[in-house]
Structure 1
Amino acid sequence: MRNREPVDTRDGWARYGWLMGAVWLVFLFYPGRALVRSEAEPWTLALGWAALVAFAATYLAGFVSGMRTPVGESGCLTQGFFWATLACALLTVPAIGWGTTSFIPFLMAYASYLMSRRWHWAVMTAGVAIMVLAVVLAASRGDTPVWSLLWIVLLMAAVNTINTWLITRSVRADELRLELATSEERESVARDVHDLLGHSLTVVKLKAELAARLIDKHPAAARRELDEIVHLTTEALAGVRGTVTGLRAEGLSEQLAASSAALASGGITMKVRGSANALSAAQSLPAAWVLREATTNILRHAGASRVLVELAPGTLSVEDDGVGLPGGGLPGAGLTGAGLPGAGLPGEHPVESGNGLRGMRERASAAGAELSFSSGELHGTKVSLTW
């Protein structure tokens, strides 16, 4: 298994996923009932009750630890809690004997969802084998076999195997989408830098050649060309810095902070609803790019005073209270207005001719998302990215 970054503990699942384990503790009713009915020595009963309480505590502690570990991996702490829960279960054997098998579903679920696939298969195989042995021994002694628990263990083995397989596939698919999104981001940066420098350097070369021809006979004209060269190189340098800054702030959380600061510098208030953790890692990268483009367009063209950014599972929306949409429901001079690069050409709507908007649509499409424009609650322009 490849090494991956630790799970973000700000994520709701990492913080509260242990509640899933807490819900299943209700089934400790069965070993508890076995202890109540047991006729064992008092000291073994006391040991059994202490072990039952310790089992519940270590089981929950293991879930808290395991939920903060990447899927398919098992940290030392998570493994330690597993062995602790197993030890607690075994300590009940003197008091309830084969009743200890009622702990098997807990141990199987723990190994399946909090540890690696190897642990899943090992614990599942051992659990099924122990239950089959218990049924065989009970039948050989003339006792009533615990068929219900055997079926529960078999059912859990099948369900856990399917669920963990689906979870692993989902995680790997997210990793692949993140790699593709990162590759798209790199290609976009390379294309932007190439276009920016290619155009600027071509113009600078022509003006430098012209200045060289004019410097002897028309020094004033040559100076004007040199001044324009300085202006062009300054703009090109600023463009490259902006591109590199955008690349460095590719994380959605970082881009939210960068957008808020940029808008504040323009006298625009930005409000955020939701959390960046609502989007997966693969979704965050294109979402950050769209947010960056939207922020740039708002500053340049919207004439807005307020911006609302909403984040929900699979959705990012950015809206302003600027000029808004013209008739027909297409973005006008606000967030996506005619002031965009390339806009205002004869016969072209500014939405279709704006390089920034085309880039936003291309990025959304490459990420498997849909980009849409509408009028939001601030009565300006709303850009929505939806998966």
Structure 2
Amino acid sequence: MQLPPDRNYLETRHWRVTGWLLAAVWLFFLNIPLLAALHQPEPWRRVVGAATLVAFGVLYVFVFQWARGRRLERRGIPVARAWAAVALLLGLGLAGIPGTGGDWLTTLVFVAAAAVFLLPSRQSLVVVALAALTPPVTAALVPGWEAEGTVVFAVLLASFAMFGVTRLTQRNSELQAAQQEIRRLAVAEERARTARDLHDILGHSLTVVAVKAELAGRLLELDPARAATEIADVERLAREALADVRGTVGAYRGISLAGELAGARSALAAAGIAAELPDTAPELPAERDELFGWTVREGVTNVVRHSGARRCVIRVEPGLVEVRDDGRGPEAASSGPGGHGLVGLRERARRLDAAVTVGRRPDGPGFLLRVTLPVDQ
């Protein structure tokens, strides 16, 4: 069962909304220069002050989200573009001086924070130092402007806070990349195990089959009775090899609910996904036990490969088995055709008149796979 991949697995919808809020909430501190602009006696000053502040706020949020997206995707931020963004923010702050007066210094808080988020450490430190020194220097040089100690403190505090946000974003990106790599390795390990088992089984069986077939061909005229015996052995070996192959690739033999629960626990642990599974499997009729085992295998395969989940819960009752996670969930409706694994599961369920439910979890984000049938069946 395959789900349509999310365009950007590193950034879920929750984190996108959080990112916008994290950038926009700081714009509250622009109320000081905005109020100064709105109280200007001349209309053109009010327009210039308000327009430049609005443009400043929009640009700040856009730059923050652009840089944050690149960091989450583990792509570098071009230094030239970073300096251009910092310079443009500073330019908008300066352009608003006719409307904001000395209160334009508040924009330096955002310029310093943007520099910390965009630029390399040493370069951002230079920008922060200049932003912190600007208020006392301009107060000494420009008549009528007062030294704003609160602005200096705000510049330093915002820079320190943005440094923490930068490191948090970086660590979050590295963690998600590591989880993705673990999932990829878990799938690769399973494929390698299957290939190795197939090689071991078929390598031995087909070698013996070839030897016996060659021997039977030579004995066909010399000793027909022994040749018939060898041909019978060839048939037996071929059937045993076929059964072993089916068991190895998880076909129609050897699958059970207890075995799949144990395999699910191992697979989820290898993928770094917290698992909540029953300790023991209930006693079930053979056909139902096999169907429930297939359901657990299909559900866990989806969780490991496609969901991006952090937690998986498997619930088993005499008439129900359910696999749910807290990942991205399906993009299409649950009535869609699904992947090959889901089609096969529906076919097996149909033989027992069982109902298969596939779709979003009703109690929150994530994916739900459930198979139900009457308990008295």
Aligned to 2:27: 25
Gaps of 5+ in 2: 1-6, 220-224, 251-267, 278-285, 322-369
Is the 2:48–2:96 contact (alpha carbons within 8 Å) kept by the matching residues of 1? yes
Aligned to 2:339: none
Alpha-carbon shift at residue 63 of structure 1 (Å): 4.2
Aligned to 2:60: 59
For 2:69, what is the secondary structure of its paired residue? coil
Partner of residue 230 from structure 2, selected from 219, 222, 237: 222
Aligned to 1:318: 314
Alpha-carbon shift at residue 179 of structure 1 (Å): 4.1
1:229-274 deviation per Cα after TM superposition (whole angstroms, max 9, x unaligned) = 444555566678x59xxxxxxxxxxxxxxxxxxxxxxxxxxxxxxx
Is the 2:94–2:104 contact (alpha carbons within 8 Å) kept by the matching residues of 1? yes
What is the TM-score when the length of structure 1 is the normalising length?
0.55
Distance 1:182 1:312 in 2: 12
Is the 1:104–1:153 contact (alpha carbons within 8 Å) kept by the matching residues of 2? yes
Aligned to 1:99: 103
Distance 2:87 2:15 in 1: 24
Q: 1:1-387 residue pairs with structure 2 within 5 A?
A: 11-14=13-16, 17-38=19-40, 42-71=43-72, 73-74=76-77, 84-113=88-117, 115=118, 117-118=119-120, 121-138=122-139, 144-176=146-178, 178-179=180-181, 182-183=184-185, 185-214=187-216, 216=219, 217-231=225-239, 234=242, 242=249, 285=271, 301-304=289-292, 314-322=310-318
1:140-176 deviation per Cα after TM superposition (whole angstroms, max 9, x unaligned) = 7696421111111112222222332343244335434
Is the 1:62–1:82 contact (alpha carbons within 8 Å) kept by the matching residues of 2? no
Is the 1:208–1:229 contact (alpha carbons within 8 Å) kept by the matching residues of 2? no
Greater alpha carbon shift after TM alignment, 219-228 vs 63-72: 63-72
What is the TM-score when the length of structure 2 is the normalising length?
0.56
Is the 2:112–2:159 contact (alpha carbons within 8 Å) kept by the matching residues of 1? yes
Is the 2:209–2:237 contact (alpha carbons within 8 Å) kept by the matching residues of 1? yes
Q: Larger RCO: Structure 1 or Structure 2 (Cα < 8 Å, ≥ 6 residues apart)?
A: 2
Distance 1:232 1:175 in 2: 43
Letter in 1 for 2:311: T
Q: Supply the RMSD in Å over aligned alpha carbons.
A: 4.8
Letter in 2 for 1:223: I
Alpha-carbon shift at residue 86 of structure 1 (Å): 3.7
Letter in 1 for 2:44: W
Distance 2:310 2:165 in 1: 22
Greater alpha carbon shift after TM alignment, 101-110 vs 209-218: 209-218
State the percentage of identical aligned residues: 20
Distance 2:51 2:270 in 1: 47
Letter in 1 for 2:107: F
Gaps of 5+ in 1: 244-281, 292-297, 326-375, 380-387
Against the structure 1 CA distance between its residues 284 and 44, is the aligned structure 2 distance closer, same or farther, given a 3 Å change threshold?
farther
1:45-73 deviation per Cα after TM superposition (whole angstroms, max 9, x unaligned) = 32121111222233333344444333363
Against the structure 1 CA distance between its residues 321 and 28, is the aligned structure 2 distance closer, same or farther, given a 3 Å change threshold?
same
Aligned residues: 277
For 1:74, what is the secondary structure of its paired residue? coil
Against the structure 1 CA distance between its residues 104 and 142, is the aligned structure 2 distance closer, same or farther, given a 3 Å change threshold?
closer
Structure number with larger C-alpha Rg? 2
Distance 2:151 2:202 in 1: 75
Distance 2:291 2:192 in 1: 31
1:193-218 deviation per Cα after TM superposition (whole angstroms, max 9, x unaligned) = 22332133223323443444455233
Is the 1:135–1:146 contact (alpha carbons within 8 Å) kept by the matching residues of 2? yes
Distance 1:299 1:146 in 2: 78
Alpha-carbon shift at residue 315 of structure 1 (Å): 1.0
Letter in 2 for 1:18: W
For 1:319, what is the secondary structure of its paired residue? strand
Distance 2:108 2:153 in 1: 12
Distance 1:161 1:312 in 2: 28
